[in-house]
Amino acid sequence: MNHKYTLLLCLCLLSAGFAMAGNPDRQGEAGANQLLINPWARSAGLHSLNTSSVSGAEAMYLNVAGLSRIKKTQIQLSHSRYIADINLNALSFGQHIGKGGGVFGISLMSMDLGEFLSTTEDIPGGTGATFSPSYFNMGISYSHLFLNKVSVGVTFKFVNESISNVGARAMAMDAGVQYVTGENDNFKFGISLRNVGSKMRFLGEGLSKPRPSPGQTFEYPITYYDRSSAFELPSQLNIGFSNDWLLGKSNRLSLIGNFTSNAFSRDQVGGGLELTVGQNFGLRVAYKTELNTAVGGTEATLDNGLSAGFSASLPFKKGSDSRLTLDYSYRSTSVYNGIHGIGLRLDL
């Protein structure tokens, strides 16, 4: 791929991001904020700052361009213990197709909020019934690697929020690019634009209310439907870089930096370090902060502060490229007891 076209794509994404730069006055106006929660333990250990270096099936969350950097087939499972006993479960699959550098991927994420007591205007104390909200996202992705230097990718996502009688749905798109350069391919640069799509609006029988007829001739109830307001998705632009230092033949220390521009909240900036020992062990730590917010301020979002994690990997047999990897991450929070994540990664 000609580097001129890569630069043009980067500039287009960058321009789009500046057009929707962070705006605290719009904070709270977007919905479907589960799209901003990283369910993948490996990248969560770096606080989702590795836009430039994320790879494999989990890249479909942060920068889909990294999907193309799997060897053949990769399957990932992940579970996160979020705040207030909320559970996040995710599954992703990546597969090389054809003889070129193309990779096809599918990702699924669901959020389990538990059961809630059903109440009505007439029975505010509860009807005795319960309900469970459904938060579900599905993405279909394609990424292509050009000469091991430039990778690009795109994801089309279906977003769903619903209970038994009310739901909201939307379609969204992610796009990303990664560029690798340096004598030993040690410098990486990445841009991703996420959650650009249609507005969501809650619809369903749950918004209907029976009311008496306004007429005097007949006395029968009439069903009225409340019209809910539409809301936008939490669009986001990430710009990141990383630099690797080789320690011996197979060990690596990486410095990672990232800037996040949010369309409906303040911008964020952060950095981290990742140490990998061969292919068998990885250790990572990162810190992210929100700009223009007082330290410990109540207006800051939850996705800030320290994070850390590790990975342990073993081959199926000596000399095999097939590996099973365990990932763990912890993200500190100013309320509750932090966010724990654990994942399994299978490379075939």
Backbone angles phi, psi at 18, to 5 degrees: -65, -30
Tell me the CA distances in angstroms from 227 to 69, 166, 221, 275, 310, one per residue in order.
46, 12, 19, 53, 48
Domain layout of the chain by residue ranges: 3-347
152/268 Cα distance (integer angstroms): 24
If we measure between CA atoms, which residue out of 334, 262, 186 comes closest to residue 22? 262
Q: Provide the mean pLDDT of the chain.
A: 86
Q: What is the mean pLDDT of residues 197-222?
A: 81
* pLDDT score of 19 more than 50: no
pLDDT band for position 200 (50/70/90)?
very high
**For residues 288 and 270, is the Cβ–Cβ distance under 8 A?**
yes
If we measure between CA atoms, which residue out of 154, 149, 150, 144 comes closest to residue 176? 154
**For residues 342 and 328, is the Cβ–Cβ distance under 8 A?**
yes
**How deeply is 164 buried, as exposed, middle or buried, from its count of CB atoms within 10 A (0-12, 13-18, 19+)?**
middle
| Cα angle for residues 309, 310, 311 (degrees, 5° grid) | 140
Tens digits of per-residue pLDDT, 284-301? Answer: 999 999 887 755 555 667
Tens digits of per-residue pLDDT, 118-168? Answer: 888 788 888 888 888 989 999 999 999 988 789 999 999 999 999 888 999
| Beta-carbon-side half-sphere exposure of residue 11 (alpha carbons within 13 Å) | 6
- For the ranges 87-96, 116-125, 211-220, 240-249, the lowest mean pLDDT is seen at 211-220
Second CATH level (architecture) for the domain 3-347 = Beta Barrel (2.40)
Q: What is the mean pLDDT of residues 195-220?
A: 82
* pLDDT score of 274 more than 80: yes
Tell me the CA distances in angstroms from 317 to 8, 157, 293, one per residue in order.
44, 37, 51
Residue 317: how many CB atoms within 10 A of its CB? 7
Strands (E), the chain: 73-81, 87-96, 102-112, 116-117, 130-131, 134-146, 150-162, 167-181, 187-197, 208-212, 221-225, 236-247, 251-262, 268-277, 281-290, 305-315, 323-331, 339-347
